[in-house]
Chain A
Amino acid sequence: MAQDRLFETSPGVVCPMLRDHADALMAYAERRLEGEKADSIARHAMNCAECRRVIDSQRFVWEAMDAWEPEAVSADFNRRLYRAIDEENARSWWRRLTNGRVFTRWNTAIPVAASCMVLLGFFLVRTPDPIEDKKQAMFVETVDVEKLDRALDDMDLLRELNQDLGDSRI
């Protein structure tokens, strides 16, 4: 096993503690192991130079890593982050809907497209034809004017008849 070669004490030979209990050995090196397990490894390390070497060198590595202190965080880190959040919240509803991405999944685009088609068809069916309405309006207007003319003619005729009747009585 590749892991075994990491802990070979000599070519082809692996200490059983390293081979079978590497986790415990590392935990012991980290001083996280307690009780009987820790005592067992401590007793083994007293008699196994290789395990002792691994434990000591691993502890040195961790101590060296402990000394690596990171840089201080910039004073304006939070301000920059909140500004980015505000800018994101101010984006258009469309970009928020797509999260800046064009629909790339058919299983999302097809239902959306179908919904749009249904809505479009609904409005096309429901919306009256404005041209036809105008024609009808013009027709009604035309009919009304003709009726009015006829009515006026009838009134003139009646007036003339009344005059004639009035003259004849005298």
Chain B
Amino acid sequence: MAKADAQHSSTSGVLEDMAAAAAATVEWDAELMLRLRAGDVASFSLLLERHRSPVIHFLYRMVQNQGVAEELAQEVFLRVYRSRDSYEPTAKFTTWLFRIATHLALNWIRDHRNEKSSASLDEETAEGIARQVSDRRPTVEQSLVRDARMAEIRTAIETLPEKQRAAVLMHKYEELEYSQIARVLDCSESAVKSLLFRAYETLRARLAHMA
């Protein structure tokens, strides 16, 4: 019992440390943005290095096209730079950042709804084989199976309604809180939970045969 209590308290301590670190990170982002507002352009470079990959990866999973994702990410950071003079830390920086990114992604998806935005399964298979050569996978068959599974996951997410897709990606990959996702999508927390529940239920149903 004492051992369980000790483990519980140590785990709680670790969680508290992680929460403190997360809070410090959030404050540092706001501090960098305020420095940029004051004219310190180097702060923008730091912000870019911290958030470039998460933004691009989020956009890539939203639009499923790397080139488009990078173009949209360019626009995201341009808008951050343009807004430097009027920036106020009224919300978490990542909330604001992903609000811009989501807005741009949703607009792009709606504008290109009838176009094919993702690579074909055949192309992915070819890439998988190339990866196999470079990664020295044991068999071609395993690579093909893996690539087929990836294609199914990508398709399952791509076919989600846009807001459900955005909510799932922010919740799963960016680990945003419900309140943050609500501010990004301009809806209530209960609406976010509903979006996530519906999205995950759909994904469970579509990927059940892979289990």
Contact = CB atoms under 8 A, between A and B. Distances in A.
A162 B59 CA distance: 109
Contacts of A58: 200, 204
A71 B74 CA distance: 16
Contacts of A99: 82
B78 A88 contact: yes
Nearest to A72: B66
Interface residues of B, number: 39
A22 interface: yes
B116 interface: no
Nearest to A76: B70
A139 interface: no
A67 B150 contact: yes
Contact of A22 (B8, B70, B193): B193
Contacts of A2: 194
Contacts of B149: 64, 67
B50 interface: no
A68 B73 contact: no
Given A34-B11, A62-B172, A71-B60, A81 B78 contact: yes
B207 interface: yes
Contact of B154 (A54, A68, A81): A68
B201 A6 contact: yes
A70 B60 contact: yes
B53 A81 contact: no
Contacts of A56: 211
A68 B210 contact: no
A61 B73 CA distance: 27
Given A3-B194, A70-B56, A84-B74, A65 B66 contact: no
A35 interface: yes
B85 to A, nearest CB: 11
A156 to B, nearest CB: 79
B28 interface: no
B16 to A, nearest CB: 13
Contact of B57 (A23, A70, A81): A70
Interface in A69-116: 70-71, 73-74, 77-78, 80-81, 84-85, 88, 99
A64 B153 contact: yes
B61 interface: yes
Contacts of B78: 81, 84-85, 88
Contacts of B73: 77
A45 interface: no
Q: Which residue of A58, A61, A74, A88 has the most chain B CB atoms within 10 A of its CB atom?
A: A61
Contact of A3 (B11, B48, B197): B197
Nearest to B54: A70
A73 B56 contact: yes
Nearest to B44: A85
B104 interface: no
Contact of A57 (B48, B60, B82, B208): B208
Contacts of B173: 65
Contacts of A6: 197-198, 201
Contacts of A78: 48, 52
Interface of B: 8, 11, 15, 48, 52-53, 56-57, 60-61, 66, 70, 73-74, 77-78, 81-82, 146, 149-150, 153-154, 157, 172-173, 193-194, 196-198, 200-201, 203-204, 207-208, 210-211
Q: Which 6 A-B pairs have the closest CB atoms?
A: A70-B57, A71-B66, A57-B204, A60-B211, A61-B203, A6-B201
